[in-house]
Structures are given as structure tokens and as C-alpha cells.
Amino acid sequence: MSLRSWTHFFPPYPGPAIPPAFRLVCAAVSGAALSLSYTGFYFSIYSWLCIGLLLVVILDARPHIAFACGFAHSLLFVFTSESWIATVLAVHGGLSRVGGWGILFLIALVIGTLTGSFAWCVRRLAQRSLLLACLGAPFLWVTFEFALAHLPEISFPWNLLGYPASSNLGLLQLTPITGIWGLSFVVAGFNSLLAWTILAPEPPPRIRATILASAAVLILAVMAIGPRFVPRTSANHFARAVQPNFPEAMEYPPDWFRAHARDLEEIEQLSLAPSNHATDLLVWPEAPAPFSFEDPQFARHASLLAIHFQHPFLAGVIQWEPAPESSANAHAALAPYNSAILLDPQGQKVFTYDKIHLVPFGEYEPFPLIHSVAAGVSDEIGSFRKGSKYSVAHLPGGYRFGAFICYEAIFPGEVRHFASAGADLLINISNDGWFGRSAAPEQHLRMARVRAVENRRWLLRVTNNGFTVSVDPYGRIFSLLPPDVRAAVDLPYDFRTDETLYTHFGDWFAWLCVFVSAILLALTFRKGNIAREELLIPVGEIPPSLATSS
């Protein structure tokens, strides 16, 4: 392609001169404002605007300033929407308050580096063309979100851009096709259109405003009318979900079962209380106490409970098994696994799932080389082992379910494995008591809800202290238990065997964004690129010497 034909479709963008300090302030403000879509009243409007503000201040900035703006945006976003991490580490992780905020800063550093890289890449495209940068920004945004979900050992795709939009039942129905990545793309695309409307030198402002308004009207129409076309569902089954509301403890004394005999009696009574529904499944949450089937005290309680309930019983436990590296040694020490077990109506254990994606620095040390450093900071880091198989359990009637544990709910590609392995129902057991009274439990619920819709499965979400709910295959929430109470509820559910495009093909849309992003960035490295800073000149002023074929 000749340089002249390229600039005809993608004219170079010089942009106005804005002081770097002002750019950084605007980027930081956009990050703090974006957090309002994830906390408090969850105003999703900010997610449709704040990335646009970020783009406005980076599209004509120098590359290093663009990177700094992206970093500042994420720094403020993480500090304002995920500050609960510092509190959890300080209260339950054995760290000082300063240490907790230090770890939060390290998390923000990783996310900020990715967002800064996004900003740098968009700016590189803008050096070639403003239109090209605005077209490429949604692809790049999804690419870097996808990278965040796949970082070795420390991946943390919490509060992705598409989640605020998922609160609308109409927009949410995109996820069975693209996963959450499609919603992030739509929201990033509107933000990019907003930036283009503000900055583009042509076409005339009225035409640009009309294009933006048309896109806004289309999105609002989908949000207003779309939910009316979402099919209604009916549930033919009910599960008794128990929310024990045990306080969090860092260690358990040997006489724990004797000291908490009354608590155990109370949650057993909640499990077996008469119901207006024909419940056929009992579910307890991720282990909030020293529950282990290898412990005779708990095994006796659990088996008797399953026998009296006369239906399968799923519970979160600490499972002690030989570690893979010592399986050949019959006398090897046992290693702990964060697990879910299923007991049949005869009280026999018939299924075990060991949690695969553990919480880094909480349930395990992600990097063995930093063992001495981690031990020096806190001695509370867990030593759980990772499971290795996305197992599905069988229920009477030939149905199957997949049980994923706590933190795994934020990984769309991993939850999908259960549905693709044949699960007709999804169950998420969690202990969100570590989060305290922060925004984290509701953020966690909002993310888990999308997993149900991505795979068109009913989701039973049973937690220690909230939120315990049922989610239908289209995202409607039923029978929500209030947080921080000990209670039980009968959650409606049913089985689905159909397969969504996302379940079948996985993260195909995210990989498409990666592919397109790579192509767009590769174009900026072509010889004869007019994108260099010194060649940023308005259309119509290109010297004849440059308007030749490359």
C-alpha cells in the first residue's frame, strides 16, 4: 500500500499540546471514577465513559507519557475498587497494615504495567492514525485483560471492564457467544468511539456526534428492550443450601468439635429442617472450619447427616492426600487440598474435586524461590496443593454437576471446563468471610453470575456468610440469603445439556482480539511508517517526498 493511500483512509493525528501533568491527573481520575461501577451503588455508566477519558489523554501523548497515564489509571482503580485486599491481608494474613497495602501496591503494579502497555500500544497506533488507534483500542483492551487472566501463577482477572454491563440482562446474553470478553469489547468500543468523537479532525463535529448518539441509542435500546426477550426458566429441583456464618479463624484447637458442638447441631438442624419444597441435594460451602473426611469426628457427622437427609450431600472440606511427587512412597506425608466431596444417601464418599486454581500467597506460595521472603513477611501463607482434573460428579437420574471453589469463579475459561466435560449443573462453594464487610463479596457474586450465563447452566452459589443464591441460565438471581447470618434456603435449580458457543469453542473471541492486535501492531513497524513523532503533521501538509509508495 502506498503512503498516500494509507493516509487517505487513516490520516495521521498530530493532536493538541496538553501538559503531561494534566494528562496524568485525568488518567488517575478516570481510574478512580471507574471504580464506582464496581463499588457502592454500582453505577455502570462510569465504565462506558472512563476508558474514553483515558484514551483522550493518551492518543496524542508521547509514548512514555501514555504508558504512565495507563499505569496511573490502574493504580487508582485498584486502590479504590480492590482496597479490601489490603484489609484481608492485614486482618487474616498476618501482615501489618503497611504490609497489606504494600502487597496491594504490587498487585496494582502488575495490573498497571498491563494497562500502561495497552496505552503505549494505542498511542503507537495513533502515531499512524487516530482512526486506526480508535478501531484497535477495543481489541487491545481485551488482549490485555486476557493476558491478566493468564499470567503465570499470579493471574487476577477481577473486575474486568465487561462486568458492570453484565448487570443488564439484555447485554448479558452476549456472553454465551463470546464469554465476558465480548462485553469488555463492546464497552471498550463505545469508549473508543467517544474518544474519536472528541478528537477526530474530520468528519464535521455534527456527523461525529450523530454517530456517537446513534451508538448510544442502540446500546440503550438493547438494555431497555433486550431483557423482555430473555426466555423465562422454570426449576424442577431444589437444593438445601446452608450458610453457616462461621467466624474466620487462622488456626483450630484440637478440641474444636467439642467447643463448637452447639454450632454444629444448629447447622445440622438447618440442613434437615422441614421444607415446602422437595429438596434433593444438600450443599455446604467451602470449608469454614476444620472439616476433613479423614477426621473421624467430621466423617461421622457428615455421613449421618447424608443418611438422615436421604439425598446426596456436597460439602467443602480439607482433603488430605499423598502429594503427586511422593505417590510412590507408601509412608509419605499427606498434603492438604481444598476440596469438595459428595456423599451419597448411604453416607459414603463417592466424589472428590480438588481445587485447581489456588489463591496465590493465600493458599500457596506461587514462586518457590521467594519462600524465604514470603516466610519473612508472614507465616500465614497456606500450603495447599493444586488439583489436576476438572472432575464432574454424578447424581441420581444420570445428571452430572461440576463444583468449583471460591476464587475459581473469576476464571471463565476454567469454569467452562466443567460444562464441556458434561456438567448439567454448576455449583460454586465459597468462603467469602475473609472479605469482611467490603465490596468483594458482591463483586465475587457478579462475576460468578456471568459464568452461569456463559455456559447456559443453572448455578448454585453457596457461601459461608453470603451471598448464597441461585442463578438461572440467563442470569436471573433467586432466593438470595442476606449476608452475615446463619440460615438455610432452598435454592431452585435444574439441569441443562445444551452447549453454548463459548462452552464449545472457549475463548475464541479473546484469541481473535489477540490476533487482530498483533496484526495492527505489526503494521506500525512497516518500513516507511509515517508514525514517527517528528512526522506527525496534518493531512494536506505531507511533503511530496513522503507521498510515495513504500
If one compares 538 and 510, the residue with the highest pLDDT of the two is 510
Percent of the chain surpassing pLDDT 70 = 87
Residue 379: is its pLDDT beyond 50? no
pLDDT at 522: 93
Confidence of residue 183 (pLDDT cuts 50, 70, 90): very high
Q: Which CATH class is domain 237-322+331-493?
A: alpha beta
Residue 121: is its pLDDT beyond 60? yes
- Range name among 116-130, 185-199, 324-338 with the lowest pLDDT average: 324-338
**Amino acid symbol at 439:** A
Mean pLDDT of 95-105: 82
pLDDT at 235: 95
287: left (phi over 0), alpha (psi -120 to 50) or beta: beta
Which secondary structure element, helix H or strand E, spans residue 199, and what is its range?
helix 180-199
| Angle 509-165-227 from CA coordinates, rounded to 5° | 100
pLDDT at 418: 97
Domain(s) labelled CATH 3.60.110.10 in the chain stretch across: 237-322+331-493
pLDDT at 7: 46
Q: Give the pLDDT confidence of 67-87 residue by residue, as tens digits.
A: 999 999 999 999 999 999 888
Mean pLDDT of 227-256: 92
Mean pLDDT of 447-465: 97
Parallel, antiparallel, or unpaired for β 469-471 and 477-478?
Answer: antiparallel
pLDDT at 371: 46
Exposure class string for 163-174: b at 16+ Cβ within 10 A, else e: bbbbbbbbbbbb
Q: Give the pLDDT confidence of 317-333 residue by residue, as tens digits.
A: 999 988 776 555 555 67
d(CA 417, CA 408): 11
Mean pLDDT of 515-521: 97
Residue 548: is its pLDDT beyond 50? no
**Contact (CB, 8 A) for 355 and 386:** yes
pLDDT at 11: 54
**Contact (CB, 8 A) for 257 and 297:** yes
If one compares 361 and 523, the residue with the highest pLDDT of the two is 523
Mean pLDDT of 7-25: 70
Task: Identify the CA nearest to 297 among candidates 256, 242, 352.
Answer: 256
* Mean pLDDT value across the chain: 88
pLDDT at 457: 98
Mean pLDDT of 502-530: 90
Q: Give the pLDDT confidence of 519-533 residue by residue, as tens digits.
A: 999 988 876 554 444
pLDDT at 367: 62
Confidence of residue 434 (pLDDT cuts 50, 70, 90): confident
Residue 313: is its pLDDT beyond 50? yes
Mean pLDDT of 96-112: 88
Mean pLDDT of 21-48: 96
Helix (H, G, I), strand (E, B) or coil at 5: helix
pLDDT at 466: 83
Task: Identify the CA nearest to 166 among candidates 226, 235, 229.
Answer: 226
pLDDT at 533: 41
d(CA 36, CA 44): 8
Cα dihedral 300, 305, 306, 312 sign: negative
d(CA 412, CA 128): 35
